[in-house]
Structure 1
Amino acid sequence: MNFELTKEQQMIKTMVRDFAQAEIAPKAQEVDKEARFPEESFEKMGELGLLGLPIPEKYGGAGGDTVSYAVAVEEIGRACGSTGLSYAAAVSLGASPIYYFGTEKQKQEYLVPLAEGKALGAFGLTEPNAGSDAGGTQTKATYNNGEYSINGEKCWITNASYARTVIVTAVSGKKEDGRNRIGAFIVPTDVAGFTITSPYEKMGVRGSNTSELVLDNVQIPEENVLGDPQRGFNQFLYTLDGGRISIAALAVGIAQAAFDRALEYSKERKQFGQQISKFQAIQFKLANMAMEIELARNMVLKAAWLKDEEKPFAKEASFAKLFASEMATRVCNEALQIHGGYGYMREYEIERMLRDTKLMEIGEGTSEIQRMVIARQLGC
């Protein structure tokens, strides 16, 4: 398989990079410091077709592939980790499940506005007592007379305060083996009994909206059930596999930004009468950083390509997410070390990147969960 980008994919990469560096990067420090969700950036991304990049044109999207989308996530994350995270969540978690599992009516009503960039979506999976153990979901959906009544609480949900719809997972019954049957439900954010707040003070990705959801007898029609009610758990596992590709791409973008600054700084900073880039200790750091970034990028592209080819990609998505996220933390940490005391200062931006990238090892399944997934894929 050849991972050289096609002409169209390269054009998308160039377009997104130019946009991100001109519109997103200059605001990254302010977005982080003020913990401000950059609505204006998302409006412009919507106008450019980026919010529907991997969605077919018939549903308002740009008709791109997963590789193009991963490239876009990397470039946006390279400019601002917060914006990159919210972008990845809007597409991978807010829109894609409706495209893959929704009915035609659901796609027309809920997917089209998301793909056209006229609205944002979110995905409500994590709960206070169900993080890595998604099967431990306690939110319940009770069916009665053509409607579901949903009760429960979700936490750490990206974009929910700015979303038109949230896909919520909930226990909807029991399977034959006695285990909980978990379904997915499209919930409009303006429905009665649905409360969304953002009470979190975060270490990093501070400009990405993170919300708490409380559902108190939220009534939704049966037609808002997403996909097969019997296969809700498998549906969101597939959704998470796709999301892991985007988180890996985001980690690569943040790492690339940190590396770029470290390389530039090493050529400007002089100690003992010469540029510090001439010292072998610094050269080895930069060589390792460049190598690991390129390895992670290739793993992301492979996982994205497999998904586009409709081949199994769960193992490769976990490979990419695990390696890229841990790589990004190492690279940002080394970039800060190369900057010395200046790296510890906010104005040089490296400290922000290090804070931002730590979440990549946690979100969409922790590093420990990725190793579990990989081991299972190996037949362990």
Structure 2
Amino acid sequence: MDLDLSQEERLFREAIRDFAMRAVKERNLDQLPSVPSELFKEMGRLGYLSLNISEAYGGSPGSWVMIGIMIEEIAKFSIGLSHLIVNQYEVMLTIDRFGSKQIKEEFLPKMVAGKSMASLAFSEAGEAGFRIGEVGSGYIVDGEGYVATFGVQPETVLLFGEAHTFLFVPLSLSGIEIVLLNTTGLFPSQLSSVRFCHVHVPGTHLIGQEQHGSPACIESGFYSPLYRILSGLICIGAAEEALRFATNYAKARKAFGKSICSFGAILGRICEGYALLEQARLFSYRALSIMDRGGSVKREAIVCAWLYPKIAWKVIEEALLIHGHYGYSRELRLQQMLRDVMAFEFLLGSEEALKRQLGLELIGREVMPDDISRSMC
């Protein structure tokens, strides 16, 4: 089943597929510690990092569907790279919408051109999180949190601090330490810890308004419906490639004189994977299409975050099992794909929290128990 794409979106899909095959697949990025900087610069030259960013800062018109197409196609060959791109877009869109004119003029043109990368960092609750205090016309940041992506050394980080205070922090400031975590997936994107020791951040780097009530705190980064939908498409794109790979293997592999894809057990796995992914894919693009028309997709985004990493895991696992013991070897990407999609189950929030959020949307705050309603504000 194909999507009801515009002519522009169809041409964009063909272009991004060619780019993914040429520039992403051939580089075998899963084996690299970081993404080559020239790859991001090429994406900038081709306009892939400029969609829906204000033209005054180097952006260009586009649709949310086009961004979804790009993420899905690149995820087929590098889950880590597609995740880096999603994070880059979230930072750029947040700055474009809520940042000061000074921040926009200084950073957005470089980011759109692929010459400067940014990351997202969120604070844990309590003593373990970031502590942001006002001093003069700026802020002092102390504490530690976890950065979503650090495969390419970024110049800046969008910091989600306590009480929903957001700061855009240049990592060149004194007192910042980056510690790479020894993770098992999301290469060449890599989770990291970022530590702040009495770091002074200028007041002009505040994003939105201070503390609760700022639209930035509920519409950006990890809270963003776009982040959730695109992360779901990362998982879908990876699972589509795993299923395609397993299907081709099953056609070529012979047992008892015929292709193993003719056996009911193998054929059933392929058919079930196709059905699950097509439903998820169409639901995701429906949500992006609603966004293009200016509609709200909070419910749809929660579904994408809750279900699609699990669906992708199931499809990739079945693709691995179709290959038998060979599928478990490091010669194939399937075992790496499983670890990669697992990361989205904690990056996007726990299943229980997402179900509570969806329940609040479906049932309404007025009839939800007070303790649950307050915990989701």
TM > 0.5:
yes
CA distance in structure 2 between the aligned counterparts of 1:87 and 1:75, rounded to whole angstroms: 12
* 2:123–2:130 contact (8 Å) kept in structure 1: no
> Quick one: which amino acid aligns to residue 272 of structure 2?
N
1:251 to 235, 239, 246: 235
Q: Does 1:189 align with 2:189?
A: no
Q: Does 1:74 align with 2:58?
A: no
Q: How does 1:114-133 map to 2 (within 5 A)?
A: 114-127=111-124
Q: Report the counterpart of residue 330 of structure 1 in structure 2.
A: 314
2:141 to 146, 150, 166: 150
- The SS at the match of 2:115 is coil
* 2:151–2:189 contact (8 Å) kept in structure 1: no
1:318-365 Cα deviation digits (max 9, x unpaired):
112222211100000000011111111122221121221111222122
CA distance in structure 1 between the aligned counterparts of 2:189 and 2:313, rounded to whole angstroms: 19
Q: Which runs of 5+ in 2 are unaligned?
A: 369-377
CA distance in structure 2 between the aligned counterparts of 1:265 and 1:292, rounded to whole angstroms: 20
CA distance in structure 2 between the aligned counterparts of 1:210 and 1:38, rounded to whole angstroms: 17
CA distance in structure 1 between the aligned counterparts of 2:63 and 2:101, rounded to whole angstroms: 21
Q: Report the counterpart of residue 356 of structure 2 in structure 1.
A: 372
Shift of 1:74: 0.5
> Quick one: which amino acid aligns to residue 310 of structure 1?
G
2:196 to 212, 215, 219: 215
> Quick one: which amino acid aligns to residue 271 of structure 2?
A
Q: Does 1:299 align with 2:283?
A: yes
Q: Alpha carbons of 1:375 and 1:314: their partners in 2 closer, same or farther (altered >3 Å)?
A: same
Q: Report the counterpart of residue 374 of structure 2 in structure 1.
A: none
* 2:84–2:149 contact (8 Å) kept in structure 1: yes
Q: Report the counterpart of residue 46 of structure 1 in structure 2.
A: 44
- The SS at the match of 2:62 is coil
Q: Report the counterpart of residue 22 of structure 1 in structure 2.
A: 22
Q: Report the counterpart of residue 56 of structure 2 in structure 1.
A: 58
- The SS at the match of 1:158 is coil
> Quick one: which amino acid aligns to residue 359 of structure 2?
A
- The SS at the match of 1:312 is coil
Q: Report the counterpart of residue 174 of structure 1 in structure 2.
A: none
Q: Report the counterpart of residue 339 of structure 2 in structure 1.
A: 355
* 2:236–2:280 contact (8 Å) kept in structure 1: yes
CA distance in structure 2 between the aligned counterparts of 1:355 and 1:230, rounded to whole angstroms: 35
CA distance in structure 2 between the aligned counterparts of 1:219 and 1:113, rounded to whole angstroms: 23
- The SS at the match of 2:177 is strand
- The SS at the match of 1:87 is helix
Shift of 1:17: 1.1
What is the TM-score normalised by the length of structure 1? 0.89
Shift of 1:230: 4.1
> Quick one: which amino acid aligns to residue 211 of structure 1?
S
> Quick one: which amino acid aligns to residue 195 of structure 1?
E
Q: How does 1:63-102 map to 2 (within 5 A)?
A: 63-92=61-90, 94-102=91-99
CA distance in structure 2 between the aligned counterparts of 1:182 and 1:317, rounded to whole angstroms: 20
* 2:164–2:217 contact (8 Å) kept in structure 1: no
Q: Alpha carbons of 1:60 and 1:232: their partners in 2 closer, same or farther (altered >3 Å)?
A: farther
Deviates more, 1:155-164 or 1:280-289: 155-164
Identity of aligned residues (%): 27
- The SS at the match of 1:328 is helix
CA distance in structure 2 between the aligned counterparts of 1:54 and 1:245, rounded to whole angstroms: 16
Deviates more, 1:232-241 or 1:72-81: 232-241
CA distance in structure 2 between the aligned counterparts of 1:350 and 1:113, rounded to whole angstroms: 35
- The SS at the match of 1:12 is helix
* 1:38–1:83 contact (8 Å) kept in structure 2: no
1:140-188 Cα deviation digits (max 9, x unpaired):
22112212111121124313862121111223xxxxxxxxx32101111
CA distance in structure 2 between the aligned counterparts of 1:283 and 1:323, rounded to whole angstroms: 24
Q: Alpha carbons of 1:35 and 1:106: their partners in 2 closer, same or farther (altered >3 Å)?
A: closer
Q: Does 1:110 align with 2:107?
A: yes
Q: Alpha carbons of 1:52 and 1:39: their partners in 2 closer, same or farther (altered >3 Å)?
A: same
* 1:160–1:166 contact (8 Å) kept in structure 2: no
Shift of 1:297: 0.7
- The SS at the match of 1:229 is coil
1:273 to 257, 265, 271: 257
Q: Does 1:141 align with 2:132?
A: yes
- The SS at the match of 1:378 is helix
* 2:128–2:145 contact (8 Å) kept in structure 1: no
- The SS at the match of 1:36 is coil
1:201 to 182, 186, 194: 182
CA distance in structure 1 between the aligned counterparts of 2:167 and 2:151, rounded to whole angstroms: 15
Q: Does 1:162 align with 2:153?
A: yes
Q: Alpha carbons of 1:161 and 1:214: their partners in 2 closer, same or farther (altered >3 Å)?
A: farther
> Quick one: which amino acid aligns to residue 93 of structure 2?
S
- The SS at the match of 2:164 is strand
* 1:161–1:196 contact (8 Å) kept in structure 2: no
Shift of 1:137: 7.7
Q: Report the counterpart of residue 371 of structure 2 in structure 1.
A: none
> Quick one: which amino acid aligns to residue 102 of structure 1?
G
Q: Which runs of 5+ in 1 are unaligned?
A: 131-135, 172-180
**For this pair of structures, how many residues does the alignment match?**
360
Shift of 1:368: 2.9
